[in-house]
């Protein structure tokens, strides 16, 4: 199973951008020393800032799902974001030099410099990032599909006298009651000598979520939830029971009940 996620690509891209920024500062310093002219780190940083502009652009592409555009739209989109990057770069140099330097670099000259030096490089970098995001997003979805196909539709619950076959989708929530766990359905409660961690591995993680160190719930049976104003939540289930969502698990819970919408263009 693949462990590289789109977020990993974002972090790696950001790290590469920062490394390129630092690399160009060092190269400028070495060249100035070798050629015997003055080195101004502020000026070098300003003209190397284009590498750092890659970070917000890549994040926006990921946030809005624009790496999933059709093949027909991908190339024009890469040209657009590369051009936008150079435009931001040119304006930023002009504004910063106008405010902080004794002289200013005009936008027209900045644009010419940016397109000549960076345009092709940006196209290559953004193409690579988008391809990686698309590839590993698809692989991640395949992993989810594989995981889903392995989830049993029923689980077996044992007590000292009987074994019960329970439909996974019929489970409302599960609570820890050491050394047992309580499995709650709409009409009955079952005791099973097991742990929440092991039980979670048997359930469909698209609909079941850990909400506390002592409980798991099925989001399909959530009626409503309210904040305690301290990071915790109270969740009311369809059968009237109330469960607490710990702040440590609140993020995963809210991501399940309020999945992000993806923008398509």
Residue 160 predicted with pLDDT over 90: no
- What is the residue whose two structure tokens read 């106008």? 98
- Spatial neighbors of 81 by CB under 8 A, at least 6 apart, are 57, 61, 122, 126
Domains of the chain by residue range = 6-149, 154-257
Identify the band that residue 3 occupies on the pLDDT scale cut at 50, 70 and 90.
Answer: low
Identify the band that residue 33 occupies on the pLDDT scale cut at 50, 70 and 90.
Answer: confident
pLDDT tens per residue across span 57-114: 999 988 888 888 888 899 999 999 999 999 999 999 999 999 998 888 999 999 999 9
Q: Collapse the DSSP code of 154 into the 3-class scheme (helix H, G, I; strand E, B; otherwise coil) and give the result.
A: strand
pLDDT at 236: 95
Average pLDDT over residues 233-238: 94
Helix residue spans in 64-176 (DSSP H): 71-100, 107-150
pLDDT at 224: 93
Residue 39 predicted with pLDDT over 80: yes
Between 148 and 9, the more confident residue is: 9
Please name the fold of domain 154-257. Answer: OB fold (Dihydrolipoamide Acetyltransferase, E2P) (2.40.50)
Identify the band that residue 141 occupies on the pLDDT scale cut at 50, 70 and 90.
Answer: low
User: Nearest-5° angle of CA 10, CA 208, CA 183?
Assistant: 155
Q: In angstroms, rounded to a whole number, what is the distance separating the alpha carbons of residues 40 and 101?
A: 12
Q: In angstroms, rounded to a whole number, what is the distance separating the alpha carbons of residues 63 and 218?
A: 27
Residue 264 predicted with pLDDT over 60: no
Residue 212 predicted with pLDDT over 80: yes
Residue 18 predicted with pLDDT over 50: yes
pLDDT at 114: 94
């Amino acid at each position: 199973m693949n462990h590289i996620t789109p977020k990993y690509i974002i972090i790696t891209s950001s790290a590469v951008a920062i490394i390129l920024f630092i690399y160009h500062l060092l190269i400028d310093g070495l060249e100035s020393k070798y050629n015997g002219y003055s080195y101004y780190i502020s000026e070098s940083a300003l003209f190397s800032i284009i590498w750092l502009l890659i970070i917000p652009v890549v994040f926006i592409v990921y946030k809005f799902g624009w790496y999933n555009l059709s093949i027909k739209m991908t190339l024009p989109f890469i040209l657009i974001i590369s051009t936008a990057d150079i435009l931001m770069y040119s304006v930023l140099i002009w504004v910063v030099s106008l405010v902080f330097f004794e002289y200013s670099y005009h936008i027209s000259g900045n644009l010419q410099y940016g397109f000549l030096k960076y345009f092709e490089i940006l196209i290559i970098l953004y193409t690579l990032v988008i391809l990686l995001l698309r590839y590993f997003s698809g692989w991640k979805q395949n992993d989810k599909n594989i995981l889903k196909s392995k989830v049993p539709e029923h689980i077996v619950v044992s007590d000292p006298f009987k074994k019960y076959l329970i439909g996974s989708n019929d489970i409302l929530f599960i609570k820890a009651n050491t050394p047992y766990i309580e499995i709650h359905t709409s009409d009955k409660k079952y005791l099973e000598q097991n742990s929440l961690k092991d039980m979670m591995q048997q359930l469909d993680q698209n609909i079941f979520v850990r909400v506390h160190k002592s409980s798991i719930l099925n989001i399909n049976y959530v009626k409503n939830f309210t904040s305690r104003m301290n990071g915790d939540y109270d969740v009311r289930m369809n059968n009237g029971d109330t469960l607490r969502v710990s702040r440590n698990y609140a993020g995963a819970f809210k991501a399940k009940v309020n999945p992000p919408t993806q923008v398509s263009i």
